[in-house]
Structure 1
Amino acid sequence: ALQPHQPFQIIVRYTTADGPAIWWLDPELTYGNAKPFVFTQGHSVCNRSFFPCFDTPAVKCTYSATVKAPAGIQVLMSATQSSYLEEEGVYQFYMEYPVPAYLVALVAGDLIHADIGPRSRVWAEPCLLPTAISKLSGIVERWLTAAESLYGPYIWGRYDIVFLPPSFPIVAMENPCLTFIISSILESDEFLIIDVIHEVAHSWFGNAVTNATWEEMWLSEGLATYAQRRITTETYGAAFTCLETAFRLDALHRQMKLLGEDNPVSKLQVKLEPGVNPSNLMNLFTYEKGYCFVYYLSQLCGDPRHFDSFLRAYIEKYKFTSVVAQDLLDSFLNFFPELKEQCVESKAGLEFERWLNATGPPLAEPDLSQGSSLTRPVETLFKLWTTEPLDSVAAASSVDLTKWRTFQTVLFLDRLLDGSPLPHEVIKKLSECYSSQLDSMNAEIRIRWLQIVVRNDYYPDLYKVRRFLENQMSRMYTIPLYEDLCTGTLKSFALEIFYQTQNQLHPNLRKTIQQILSQGLNPLPAIDTTAVTTDTPAMVLEDKVSEATNGAISLRDVNVSA
């Protein structure tokens, strides 16, 4: 019989079929169109379909893996050690630090690499590697160094990045040692910067110290977002950080209007009902309301550097373990006994318990005045275009959008989206002024302009919507447009585009779009199809809603950078 604390080994022999964690891609779904590709996505509870495991963030363990692959296929995993036996085609991996099951990740395909720093390299398909190098060479080390100065040593050894095909269902994933990022983001420099820095921050918050339950996902995402913004402030200045924060908080309030202030998913300690996929809880409250609470805690200290010191101690105390909110808050009050004496946790209207369990917006938001040099021009331009009577000459001549930061332009366009439908004269003048300029900008900007076009039924620019969707294969740049097209009078236009492009989409994305297209709407009103269609017949779908597969649809309402 086993004695207490006596080590023992259990061997489970198993075979797994297709499951939600494993994404197989035919060569046509890659950029190079040369070789098949596979990747895994374990967050939140998908890795139970990949290997037998305790699929909860409360349990951490080390792991090793042996992977056999055909010649010419590069295999990578989220591991601290790896080796390759070429004559056998066998890769061996070992993660020496305990991690939760969802952070075990694998990718295999036509991947090559280049070093971009002393402890970082990028992996990508050959046709993408030069772009990845040009975007990230030298700066990842700068971010890692800034993070270490704030929160202590980077404990994972290497920080490598692999760029995945557009079928990757989210924007980025913080797998230890090997961040996964969708290649589509490469063209949007500022979004790429923020997304990578967010994943860097997860090396401390989420990977080293993990939320013990998915009901408190903000412990990972809220803290990582706070750390991300501390890193961007150190490396790019407070004005840029405030601009990005203003953009995200605008999105938070937009989501709140859609969901309602009493929606329970707006709580930081949200109740996860049995049978519900935790990925359904991935929303901007997890990130931005969580960030606002962490920012509030930092302000109680009087100096963010004092709060940095606390977070370093928090990481040191809890690294390689999983925690609940009370662990964080008790540690905070013990680290700052003067705040404990002041009973800050019970301050009227800002009680810690209320932060955690009240629905609705954050109880307090950060002071973003340091970003006014970047946000004020956006507010001014928006007022010029939305004040009646419209002075289109003054509005058009006030700003050169080509000289704006991406986050300024998307903030402006998001506010126009919020105000849509706009008067026809306004949308017509906006198109005359900006449409051709926006054509040459990145996809984060272009999709917002095209959503404005769709929500305002502006037919002269609809051909640009078609052209955009014909060249996009990622969820983040297709789902929003299809949802807008199907909400208004342009459903038949959407059906035609989908009919023409469905073979270039991953089956999971294809089924998600089919669900959007086949939702039981009223019969379509007659529209001038000559303005928006080609000779291709519209595809007919059943009224029955397609069943979501692999849980992917649960992420469609927010571009998640996990």
Structure 2
Amino acid sequence: MSRYSTFEMNIPVQSYLLAIASGNLVERRIGNRTFVISEPEEIEKVANEFSELEDFLSEAERLTIPYEWGVYKLLILPPSFPFGGMENPLLTFASPAIVPGDKSSVDVAIHEIAHSWFGNLVTNNNWTNFWLNEGFTTFLERKTVRNIFGEDFMKVTAKLENQTVYFEILDYGLENGFTSLHPVFNGTHPDEALSDIPYEKGFQFLIYLESLIGEDYMLEFLRSYLKNFAYTSIDVTNFISFFSEYVHQKFTTTDAEEILSKIDFDAWIYAPGLPPITVDFETKEYNDAIELAQSFLDAKANVTSALQIFKSFSVNLKGLFISHLIDNQEIVDDCMAQYIYDTLQLGDEINGEVVFRWLIVAIRSGQLRAPFESADEFVGSIGRMKYVIPVYQAMLDSNAAIAKAIFNKHEDFYHPIAIKAIQDIFSEDVLISA
């Protein structure tokens, strides 16, 4: 007896957005248009984690134009999935790493929802223009996050990710073309340029444009942009022309020319290196995290209050705290790292965003030495490249033989994309940021 399943997609999509999943899966409705899908034993946890999924979709829709795709379904894949999420229309793929049990990684789901407009409805026409997908999506994600969780939460997230991209740009080299928003591949595989740069540098560029025309006009521009380019694939010249025309439509000739004269499109889009203008996302909470980290570096931390303060931090603030230690790694020896680990009870942390950053500190400081048991366990339990590649890099820098042995043990667990990326870091030609 044969069984057939059929599916008809009436909305045009790019071929890279086609995906199929099969397995022992169950579906749970969250809202009028939103669903989660997972293996049966995980469905309660997943449904609870994303109980606000309908709110996320509605807020992103309110900021843009009506949601085109009818329903939104989020599928949790096995732990070997190499990305946080993949925005296939109607069926977002997501890593179980975004389901830690405390709703601290729901911004990944918001990012994938935002792709329903930027990437899925309006698409970059090639990977040189990838920032038109990811920079715009990150912009909408952050606006949605701000409206739901508050301005400070959004700024802390932006600050953490912008620090990450700062390290990535330095690792590539300030003159490396892959640090541009418009990288030229010249036969190199686009995966070699896969980083946070199109996300965060693109986001900063759009925030800068918003600072020139105001938020209301910026949101109106995005709605016009979506309506004008819906169901098409575009490049950066389409964006520049449309933005320039919009500014001339909304402002007097004198004001429009003044606004556009302040935008160095070449420096922002085509030039390599750091963004030409620094966008400030500092908050009191950010400063609190940095001050706490610095108190440990200065050997002035109060044990009781330090633990209380750290436990009050969001996952992103904890990430900023640890990133400050990474940025001052030369000061952090094994004794200091052990003291921080014990004082702040870091062994209790469950979110991968915190765990992978701490493992970098632990390995580089010598607090965690070969054979790197806890790092071995971590990279063997999750395949998300954002987490495992920096940990492998830290192990490689400390003990290459053990790092390679750990990879060999777990290689069959990883997705082919992750295998290639991890193998690349064992080459002298590739640098991976912290």
TM-score (norm 2): 0.90
Report the CA distance between 1:154 and its aligned residue.
0.2
Contact 1:333 1:339 in 2 (8 A): no
Aligned counterpart for 1:278 among listed residues 190, 195, 209: 190
Q: 2:73 aligned with 1:160, yes or no?
A: yes
**Identity fraction in percent:** 27
Aligned counterpart for 2:294 among listed residues 378, 383, 390: 383
Report the CA distance between 1:469 and its aligned residue.
3.9
Flag the 1:281–1:472 CA change in 2: closer, same or farther, 3 A. closer
Aligned counterpart for 2:23 among listed residues 109, 112, 134: 109
CA offsets, 1:131-179, max 9 Å, x none?
1101012x11111111121111001111111111122222211111111
Q: 2: CA distance between counterparts of 1:437 and 1:354?
A: 41
Q: 2:351 aligned with 1:442, yes or no?
A: yes
Q: 2: CA distance between counterparts of 1:297 and 1:183?
A: 35
SS of equivalent residue, structure 1 residue 99: coil
Q: 2: CA distance between counterparts of 1:154 and 1:164?
A: 24
Q: 2: CA distance between counterparts of 1:328 and 1:493?
A: 48
Q: 2: CA distance between counterparts of 1:272 and 1:210?
A: 19
Contact 2:181 2:268 in 1 (8 A): yes
Q: 1: CA distance between counterparts of 2:118 and 2:412?
A: 39
Tell me the equivalent position of 2:343.
433
Q: 2: CA distance between counterparts of 1:516 and 1:147?
A: 37
Flag the 1:428–1:148 CA change in 2: closer, same or farther, 3 A. closer
Matched to 2:297, the amino acid is T
TM-score (norm 1): 0.70
Q: 2: CA distance between counterparts of 1:376 and 1:509?
A: 35
Flag the 1:396–1:456 CA change in 2: closer, same or farther, 3 A. farther
Higher relative contact order (CA 8 A, sep 6+): 2
SS of equivalent residue, structure 2 residue 71: coil
Tell me the equivalent position of 1:238.
151
Tell me the equivalent position of 1:123.
37
Aligned counterpart for 1:316 among listed residues 223, 227, 230: 227
Alignment of 1:477-488 (within 5 A): 477-488=387-398
Aligned counterpart for 2:199 among listed residues 274, 278, 287: 287
Aligned counterpart for 2:247 among listed residues 318, 329, 336: 336
Tell me the equivalent position of 2:170.
257
C-alpha RMSD over aligned residues: 2.7
Report the CA distance between 1:403 and its aligned residue.
1.7
Q: 2: CA distance between counterparts of 1:265 and 1:207?
A: 24
Q: 2:146 aligned with 1:225, yes or no?
A: no
Contact 1:346 1:352 in 2 (8 A): no
Q: Unaligned regions of 5+ residues in structure 1, if any?
A: 1-86, 521-544, 546-553
Report the CA distance between 1:229 and its aligned residue.
0.8
Flag the 1:558–1:452 CA change in 2: closer, same or farther, 3 A. closer
Contact 2:360 2:391 in 1 (8 A): yes
CA offsets, 1:510-534, max 9 Å, x none?
56556656x58xxxxxxxxxxxxxx
CA offsets, 1:23-51, max 9 Å, x none?
xxxxxxxxxxxxxxxxxxxxxxxxxxxxx
Q: 2:333 aligned with 1:423, yes or no?
A: yes
More helix by share: 2
Q: 2:207 aligned with 1:298, yes or no?
A: no
Flag the 1:189–1:327 CA change in 2: closer, same or farther, 3 A. farther
Report the CA distance between 1:300 and its aligned residue.
1.4
Q: 2: CA distance between counterparts of 1:132 and 1:359?
A: 41
Report the CA distance between 1:341 and its aligned residue.
3.9
Q: 1: CA distance between counterparts of 2:243 and 2:81?
A: 37
Q: 2: CA distance between counterparts of 1:327 and 1:237?
A: 33
Q: 2: CA distance between counterparts of 1:392 and 1:357?
A: 45
Larger radius of gyration: 1
Contact 1:167 1:475 in 2 (8 A): no
Contact 1:381 1:395 in 2 (8 A): no
Alignment of 1:362-377 (within 5 A): 362-369=275-282, 372-377=283-288
More strand by share: 1
Tell me the equivalent position of 2:119.
206
Q: 1: CA distance between counterparts of 2:131 and 2:181?
A: 6
SS of equivalent residue, structure 2 residue 66: coil
SS of equivalent residue, structure 1 residue 113: strand
Contact 1:218 1:268 in 2 (8 A): yes
Contact 2:136 2:203 in 1 (8 A): yes
Q: 2:392 aligned with 1:491, yes or no?
A: no
Report the CA distance between 1:186 and its aligned residue.
0.9
Alignment of 1:528-539 (within 5 A): none
SS of equivalent residue, structure 2 residue 272: coil
Contact 1:209 1:322 in 2 (8 A): yes
Contact 2:89 2:120 in 1 (8 A): yes
Paired residue total = 429
Q: 2:180 aligned with 1:267, yes or no?
A: yes
Q: 2: CA distance between counterparts of 1:305 and 1:454?
A: 47
Q: 1: CA distance between counterparts of 2:266 and 2:404?
A: 48
Tell me the equivalent position of 2:321.
412
Tell me the equivalent position of 1:195.
108
Q: 2: CA distance between counterparts of 1:230 and 1:481?
A: 31
Q: 1: CA distance between counterparts of 2:73 and 2:232?
A: 23
Q: 2:267 aligned with 1:357, yes or no?
A: no
Report the CA distance between 1:424 and its aligned residue.
4.3
Report the CA distance between 1:254 and its aligned residue.
0.8
Q: 2: CA distance between counterparts of 1:414 and 1:289?
A: 19
Matched to 2:123, the amino acid is T
SS of equivalent residue, structure 1 residue 92: coil
Q: 2: CA distance between counterparts of 1:210 and 1:506?
A: 25
